[in-house]
Amino acid sequence: MSTADETETLDEFYSRINDARTTKSGENQTSKAKDWRTRVFDAAGLRSKTFAEVKYVIPNLIPEGVSILAGRPKIGKSWMALDMALTTALKPPSFCLGNLKPLHGDVLYCALEDNPRRLQRRIARILSSRDVPWPERLHLANEWRRLDSGGVDDLREWAESVPDPVLIILDTLAGVRPERRGLESVYDGDYRALAEIHAWANNFGIAVVVLHHTQKMEADDPLDSISGSLGLAGCADTSLVLNRSSQGTTLYLRGRDVEEAEHAVSFDPETCRWTIMGDAAEIHRSESRGAVLAVLDDATEPMSPAEIALAAELPKNNVEQLLFRMGKAGEVTKLARGEYAASSLADLIGAHKNRKDRKNRGGYPPKLTLLTKPTGGTDAAV
């Protein structure tokens, strides 16, 4: 039995609580499956308890527990998941999604929408840029029982059959999803779909990634775009949403054990691998800055924000905000109200300054000024 100052898993913690209840009462309270005494512990004991740290299979991205990876059909979810699976099973482990080094161990990839021939072709494509043998610790399946019809039991048995199980991928949820009950609400059905596997994954300490689709309609909150109700995201520990828009492709992340983030990602069609490029807002801002500078670098006259926005194909409001920040950074120069030029174009800025100086000194041809009304057919003008 674990002592109070030892690090233990959640399974060990609950087992110790149950044993303590049995010893204290002199009865076998654990035989009463629904006895509240087997599920309650006191705060004082919890305060001094040391638990094992949350295990991350993919650093800062995929922790233990259930994660949903959602995206539109054919956006590349399966390529991302298969790359995670391969890289985790490889020894020595390499990197995926750019510079993320996964935890090494045994992996089960259930490719429920593929067949062995397609899997072989995809694995060969991903590993083509790496001189490594195909990993024996990656286990593959094209069929699996539904989660409420023995599927979770099968996952549990697989995990107990390998030395170091760390990752299970179910591609996709539709292939193993329990059937919805007659009077069950959509939310309850979605929550129940992941409830059993969620409880097992968290107690066992393994990461389960479930691939799913997003809705066609855009949503203000990325989690609202996950197909179905919020029951799926509510039950899952971590939600990842892969989305493509006019500004590029992003991977949004939110969960109980991860920091909320939105990463800009890119897909290499040659290696069929995804790369996290950095914070999406920073990457998009950098790309927009580059577009504005490219327009101003080609300009022969100062340009207004509206003209820049039209040429760079960016929203005018975004351009105005960018010009303010770029002016403070010394990338652009504001020559007059609503007139901007790239700071690198000294000749253009100098010519504009000279025209302004000449105008201020009266260097331009003076206007004719009428001093008196015409009399006798003679105009008096200067």
CA atoms within 13 A on the CB side of 123: 22
Asked whether residue 64 carries a pLDDT value surpassing 70, the answer given is: yes
pLDDT digits (tens, 9 = 90+) for 120-147: 999 999 999 888 999 999 999 999 999 9
For the stretch 300-356, pLDDT in tens is 888 889 988 898 888 888 888 888 888 887 888 888 888 888 887 756 666 665 565
Please name the fold of domain 283-360: Arc Repressor Mutant, subunit A (1.10.10)
56-259 CATH, one of 1.20.120.1080, 3.40.50.300, 1.10.630.10, 3.90.1150.10: 3.40.50.300
| Percent of the chain whose pLDDT exceeds 70 | 81
* Residue 150's pLDDT band (cuts 50, 70, 90): very high
Instruction: Please say if the pLDDT value at position 359 is more than 60.
Output: no
3-state SS string over the chain?
CCCCCCCECHHHHHHHHHHHHHHHHCCCHHHCCCCHHHCCCCHHHHHCCCECCCCEEECCCEECEEEEEEECCCCCHHHHHHHHHHHHHCCCCCCECCCECCCCCEEEEEECCCCHHHHHHHHHHHHCCCCCCCCCCEEEECCCCCHHHHHHHHHHHHHHHCCCEEEEEEECHHHCCCCCCCCCCHHHHHHHHHHHHHHHHHHHCCEEEEEEEECCCCCCCHHHHECCCCHHHHHCCEEEEEEEECCEEEEEEEECCCCCEEEEEEEECCCCEEEEEEEHHHHHHHHHHHHHHHHHHCCCCCECHHHHHHHHCCCHHHHHHHHHHHHHCCCEEEEECCEEEECCCHHHHHHHHHHHHHHHCCCCCCCCCECCCCECCECCEC
Which residue from 261, 310, 318, 307 is spatially nearest to 284, judged by alpha carbons? Answer: 318
pLDDT at 361 over 90: no
**Predicted local confidence at residue 326, as pLDDT:** 83
Query: Does residue 23 or residue 159 have the better pLDDT?
Result: 159
Residue with the larger pLDDT of the pair 184 and 168: 168
pLDDT over 80 at 364, yes or no: no
Domain limits, the chain: 10-47, 56-259, 283-360
Which pLDDT score, from 0 to 100, does residue 32 have? 52
C-alpha span between 315 and 268 (Å, rounded) = 28
188-214 pLDDT per residue, tens: 999 999 999 999 999 999 999 999 999
